[in-house]
Every structure is written in structure tokens, then in C-alpha cells.
Amino acid sequence: MENVTGEGISDQIERFQTQLQMDGRGRKHRILMVSDFFFPNFGGVESHIYYLSQCLLKLGHKVIVMTHAYGNRSGVRYVTGGLKVYYVPWKPFLMQNTLPTLFLTFPIVRTILIREKISVVHGHQAFSTLCHEALMHARTMGKENTVLRSGISPEKVFMVPNAVDTAMFTPSPDRLSCDEIVIVVISRLVYRKGADLLVEVIPEVCRLFPKVRFIVGGDGPKRVRIEEMREKFSLQDRVEMLGAVPHAQVRSVLISEAFCIAILEAASCGLLTVSTRVGGVPEVLPDDMVVLAEPAPEDMVRAVRKAIDMLPGIDPQVMHLRMKKLYSWDDVAKRTEIVYDRAMRSPQTDLLERLPRCGAWAGKLFCLVMIINYLLWCLLEYLQPTEGIEEVPDIRPVHARLESVDDTCETQGKGI
């Protein structure tokens, strides 16, 4: 399959639909989703894992989620649709990530892989320690994973976009007035989310546009800096701090405003979006639905000015219908299904073939780590043979009782 990173959104959807028809209904997989970030924590990664898992269950696959314990939430839990979650007894170390141990997670990862008869391990979030360790252990045991590593052939790279629950994020039925423009920021207030830019952008925008005010929803270590900025420039009446906003209440914040800095959910509400030109953000929305800026205060101010000028020509209902066509969890699940099918059919590469991609020094270190991991696996097999681990009987998921797998997943799981 060709590299799709340079394609337009519509071309990607059409090509994946064609590929799905060519591949037909693939084999049913037993998938382990692994990440440090999951419910009860709220965020983009958590929502992505949940909605993707629900739609894959509906397509007939077995899906299990593995994450670390959250407070008293430990052990095995079931959430909406029969989705099974292993909250392994590891406590977060920093920013909800578990402490990197390399090898100490192997026994419990191995037990889960064997008990659930997992065939594919899907890691989420590059910052997740648990994700990387589980992928390494799964690879040692011969399981497939969908992590993308540098230096691999472009033919093996798949770009599957995120999606949005368009049934949940809908425009306001009333056309909002542009007499007052409210800029809404819904984000974790941390450095990597660009919270530092707000400290410089907000005072300048408020100076240039007297009819603009800000609503900031979210929490994090950078919240203190934003509050200090608000006091310094006497913007208490023009900058409202909401604190953490539960995902179910995000829409109620968005639809009451005329302008927003949030991407898919904002666009689904029919709102114009401003974002920094970093990572994969430029590929998320068409040019007429988002204004992009370099991650610098002066360019962000320019982008806000441009967005304000574009506001009178925005039709929220038309934008919502476009988002509904472009981004669907059903489509994301089917495209991910193709990736799983291709991964299962791809030839296995041994350790010696993978080492040159790691570099001269990193390759030797990686080789040492994998040798130790392999020896640990042999020790675990000796102390607790695979045959001695009881396999979990498969339970028919709730989705299997649906009459058709083509029913949309969008209304599934409004509360987990």
C-alpha cells in the first residue's frame, strides 16, 4: 500500500474504501490496546481508544484495553459495550505515565497476552511508557504490533486520521452574532499544548479587538501563568477561566460561542478553528475550515485577525455536514482493520534485520535490551509455562447482537 501522508482527506477516504472492498471482510483479530492514558482520565487519546475499540467490537473483533491503575480503580473492569479493561497495578510516575522499568512489566503483559489469546498489540501515544514496554514484550513473544518505527519502508506506513462524534458535537440551531466574538480554548494547559503562547497572544488580541473575549477551559501546570497574565493586564472581565471541563460538557461550551481554538470537535460544531502549524495538524482540516499559524505569538495574532475577518462567511450547518462526511469512527475502525490485516500478512523480520535501523550505538544497546528480554521470557516460560495459564473464554460482546455492523458507532457510549 502506498504512503498516504501526502494525499487529501477525500482521496484518503476514497482509497481506503476501495482497499476495503478489495480486501473483503478480513480475519477477526484479538486486539490489545495499550496506553497509560484511559478512562477515568479525559483527553484525546482516551477518547480515541474508547471509540475505536467500540467500533472494532461492533465489527466482530475481540478488543481488550490495558492501562495502569487510577486511584482505587485496579484489576479488571468492563465498560460500555462489553469492553474489557485491565487496570494493571502500576501507579503513575509523571504526567500519568508509569515509571520506565523495561522488564518489570513483562510478567503481567505476558499473562494478559496468553489469557486473552491476543494476536495484535496496538500501542497508543508516543509519550506512554506502558505502551512502549508492552510493544517490546509482545514483539519478543512474536505478536504483531502497529507501532510505526523510523527507517521503515514507506509502503508500510499508514496514516489513519482521528475522528469526531458528530452526533455529540452539533452546531447551535441559532446563528450566532458577530457583534461579540468569543475565543474558546479547550486544552490541557501544558507546554506541549502551546499554553505558553496564550500568555502572550491573549493580551495582544484583546488590545487589537475590543469586542473579543476569551474562555479558557482546561487545567494544568500552565494555568497559573495564564491567571497571572489576566491579573497583570486587568483582563478579568475579558478572560474567563473554567478549569477542567468534562468531555460530555465540551459541546455546551463550544456552541455558545462564535469562534473556537479546538480542532475536530470545534469544526463539528460549525466553528472556525485556529491552530499552530505543528505535527499533523495541517492535514486535519481543509484550508477553508482552519487558520494555521507558526508557533509564535505574532503569527498567532495574525491568524486570529484573519479568522475574525472570515467569520461572516462561515455557515455552521454546512461545516458540520462536511465534518460528518470526512470524519467517522466507523470509517476509522474499518481503515484500522485494514492495517491489522496487512500487519498479520507481512513477513516477520528477525532481530538482526531490525538492528541497522537503530544506528551504530543505539543498535548495540537495543540488541542488549532484547537479549535480556528474551532471556526473561525463557525464565517466565520455565517458572510458569504457557500451558499452565488459563485462557479466558470468549464472551459474545453486546455489539454482536446488533442486526447489522453498518449501524453507526457514533451514538455508542455517551458515558463510560
Quick: pLDDT tens for 324-376.
888 888 888 888 888 888 888 777 666 566 656 666 677 678 788 888 988 99
21's CB contacts (< 8 A; 6+ apart) are none
CA atoms within 13 A on the CB side of 335: 21
Provide the whole-model pTM.
0.70
Per-residue pLDDT of 122-159, as tens digits, reads 998 888 899 989 988 988 887 766 554 445 565 666 66
Q: How far apart are CA 173 and CA 170, in angstroms?
A: 9
Q: How far apart are CA 377 and CA 107, in angstroms?
A: 8
Per-residue pLDDT of 223-268, as tens digits, reads 999 999 999 999 999 999 988 777 666 655 554 444 444 678 788 8
Q: Please provide residue 74's backbone torsions phi and psi, each rounded to the nearest 5 degrees.
A: -140, 155
DSSP-derived 3-state class of residue 285: coil
Q: What is the largest CA-CA distance in the chain?
A: 73
At residue 270, does pLDDT exceed 90?
no
Q: What is the mean pLDDT of residues 2-23?
A: 48
* CA pseudo-torsion sign 90, 131, 195, 271: negative
Query: The cell 465489527 sits on which residue?
Result: 59
Q: Where are the beta strands (DSSP E) in 262-323?
A: 273-276, 290-293
Q: What is the mean pLDDT of residues 206-216?
A: 91
Which class is domain 181-327?
alpha beta
Nearest residue to 343 via CA among 160, 154, 143, 58: 143
Q: What is the mean pLDDT of residues 276-295?
A: 82
* Domain 21-156 matches domain 181-327 at the CATH topology level: yes
At residue 14, does pLDDT exceed 80?
no
Helices (H), 104-243: 106-115, 129-140, 195-208, 223-232
Confidence of residue 196 (pLDDT cuts 50, 70, 90): confident
List for the chain the helix, strand, coil content (%; round to 5): 45, 15, 40
DSSP-derived 3-state class of residue 310: helix
The pLDDT value given to residue 150: 45
Question: Average per-residue pLDDT in the chain?
Answer: 79
Per-residue pLDDT of 200-209, as tens digits, reads 999 999 999 9
Domain covering 21-156 in this structure, CATH number: 3.40.50
The pLDDT value given to residue 114: 95
Q: Domain ranges for the chain, please list them.
A: 21-156, 181-327, 351-388
